[in-house]
Amino acid sequence: MRILTGLQPSGKLHLGNYFASIKPMVELQNAGQNEMFIFIANYHAMSSANKGAELQNSTFEAACAFLALGIDPAKCVFWVQSDVKEVLELYWILSGITPMGLLERAHAYKDKVAKGIEANHALFSYPVLMAADILLYDAKLIPVGKDQIQHVEIARDLALKFNNNFGEILTLPEAKIAENVAVVPGTDGAKMSKSYKNTIDIFSTDKQLKKQCNLVVTDSTPLEAPKKWQDCNIFNIAKLFLDESGQAELKARYERGGEGYGHFKAYLNELVLDYFGGARSKYEYFITHKSEVRDILDIGAKKASELANAKMAKIRDLAGVF
């Protein structure tokens, strides 16, 4: 079964990005039971990013980060969205059958505008481009968070409408909602998000990482007193890295007292460095070997283009493109 997912190049990756999205995706890839299609959604990023050099840099850095964290081009098709121009052609063809009301009901658009993001056409038509991403490659399963379910439903609606108008050619996608996805708290206890400026970034410098860990909000329990791990932001982040035995050991340290929150912050810093040590080294390698990264992306784009070209030849014919 073909599984497709797009990842926006939206700045530095943090623990929330990894545990909620990237780790489950890499596990799917490594299971070897499905065809994995993974792309960097730089066209989608243009709905909110309008600085050319900044977007180019973030796209390259995202490629380095995803490769460092386990995306394996030998096990999946990995490319940059803009390297396969057919997606824009299908986007336009689908736009011709997309009812305005369907887009006006999109929750993500309304939520982003309510948060002060500029209401431009790219943001409004985002679901149509996402539908083109999915339908161009005959993807069956689309791993998404709950906030993206509606977009997959829109892609399905457009596929049905196209098929009814022109013949059965587009595969109907299904949203794959990951069960038990980790909700990663930020340094302030709220959901970790760049918007809240409460992140712990995977590829920050050692100094920056230590500073971010030290920013985790705690209470004022004295050093010598036992502490409640249940409500501690440090523990709730640290447990993501620990098995049952490791969590039990950390709970015991909290309950017996004698250690301050500074000790636990230092321990969290060690956990992050140990867990991502290999990925951080790989990231530094890829960042300094741009041509190698470009070659990897070009190979992925070639594979994606072969499918896209064949699909678009059929779609053009049915849609009447001369």
Residues acting as catalytic residues: 112, 191, 194
**CA distances, 262 to each of 3, 42, 187, 229 (Å):** 43, 40, 14, 14
Which conformational region is residue 7 in: left (phi greater than 0), alpha (psi within -120 to 50 degrees), or beta?
beta
Find out whether 152 and 174 touch, Cβ atoms under 8 Å. yes
> Hey, what are 312's tokens?
């678009």
**CA distances, 218 to each of 176, 183, 221 (Å):** 36, 19, 9
* Distance between CA atoms of residues 202 and 190, nearest Å: 18
> Hey, what are 131's tokens?
């539908």
Find out whether 61 and 287 touch, Cβ atoms under 8 Å. yes
Task: List the end-to-end C-alpha distance of the chain, in Å, as a whole number.
Answer: 33
